[in-house]
Amino acid sequence: MPVIINAHQLSRLIDRTIGHIADEFTTVLHGIRLEADATFLYAVASDRHTVAAARYRHHGLDGTEPLARTLPASCLTSLREWTGAQPGSDPVSITLAEGRVRFSSPHSELGVAVDDSLAFLNWRGILRGVIEQTDGTGGEFPVLDTQLLSRFAAADDMVRVRVAADQQAVLIVGEDFLGAQMPARTRRDGVGAETLTTLAQVHTFWQPTLPAIEAATMTDGIPAEPRRHRYEASESIAETVQDLLKHTMRTTHELFSTDISSQAFAAYATSGVMAWSAYRYLEALHRADPKLAATVVAETAGQLDDGALGEFAWDAAKNAGHDPQKWQDQFDKQLAGRKDSNPESVQGQAATTAV
């Protein structure tokens, strides 16, 4: 039948759900459920207190029989190491055989022993119920176990949370991700978790600390972030995207008021093209792997603040198998040719660069 997905996305499906598997005493939930339909490959896990379902649009599903097997927890470390060793863009075919799930890439294969008859919870029905549950009328809201809540850290870099009522599961939504967490009824120390169940009770309890003063929103009540110096690069993806788009618009706008034959026109055009290209690449990387995108933005910000971009580019060129010295010789030759033909222009360019 095989289902085809690239190695990177298969790794990400595992990472987003592995924290939710149950312990070895709950056999049917002690692993990750892989299921596929005509459109998506799903990875699902649950420890009975949380449910996590991640999906990705696969590249093909041959045949009409849907894929549905539970990968035991004992194989997940090996499977994750195998997917991580494949080039991220390589296609991985997932096929079923009796008692096995086989993962095949262009370079290697991995077989995983599974129990074909092992059932799994009705995760679609559970998540559908959480989505459709109605708001409570008593004003109570659920208490959540923070250790369980932390298991959703790999779901996405940003998630939406819907709280309906006390004793009802909390819905957690990310990009191609649905999750739910059951409310806690007792604390881990055995003490009941029934205190402060309504906003009115919270208000009364905190009244001595929060007297009758004018309320403020977080936007108004928290001091604004200090303005960065113009040479400081942001480590935030949102700010980096904003800066790239603003730069693209600014430089392309400047083209209309610049002589097309001038060096400034070429500089504006090149700068705008590079900013737009960087935005598109960052957007694609963020969709594919938000955590990797955040890491790259932070590392790039550090390199930009360091300022040794020429050295970084030289090392990167050598590591990629290029000859940066040959490039430098070509640059020097071109600069010498422009200097011979128009010395004033080259002197002006050097002065501008120095400023």
**pLDDT values of the chain reduced to their tens digit, one per residue, 355 residues:** 688 999 999 999 999 999 999 988 888 999 999 999 888 899 999 988 899 999 998 877 665 567 899 999 999 999 999 999 998 889 999 999 899 999 999 989 999 999 999 989 889 988 888 888 777 656 677 878 888 888 998 888 888 888 887 788 899 998 889 999 988 876 666 555 556 677 777 777 666 666 666 666 555 555 555 565 555 778 888 888 888 888 888 888 887 777 777 778 788 888 888 989 999 998 888 877 777 888 888 888 888 887 788 888 888 888 888 888 888 888 888 877 766 666 555 444 443 333 2
Which residues 6+ apart lie within 8 Å of 2 measured at CB?
Answer: 60, 61, 62, 93, 94, 95, 104
Measured from the Cβ of residue 145, the count of other Cβ atoms closer than 10 Å reads 18
Structure tokens at 66: 């849907």
Helix (H) or strand (E) holding 91: strand 91-97
Task: Provide CATH 3.10.150.10 ranges for the chain.
Answer: 3-113
CA atoms within 13 A on the CB side of 350: 10
Which residues 6+ apart lie within 8 Å of 20 measured at CB?
Answer: 45, 46, 47, 50, 51, 52, 151, 179
CATH superfamily of 3-113: DNA Polymerase III, subunit A, domain 2 (3.10.150.10)
What order of strands is seen across the sheet that includes strand 170-174? 68-72, 31-36, 40-46, 50-57, 177-181, 170-174, 160-162
CA 276/CA 280 separation, integer angstroms: 6
Q: What is residue 90's DSSP assignment?
A: S
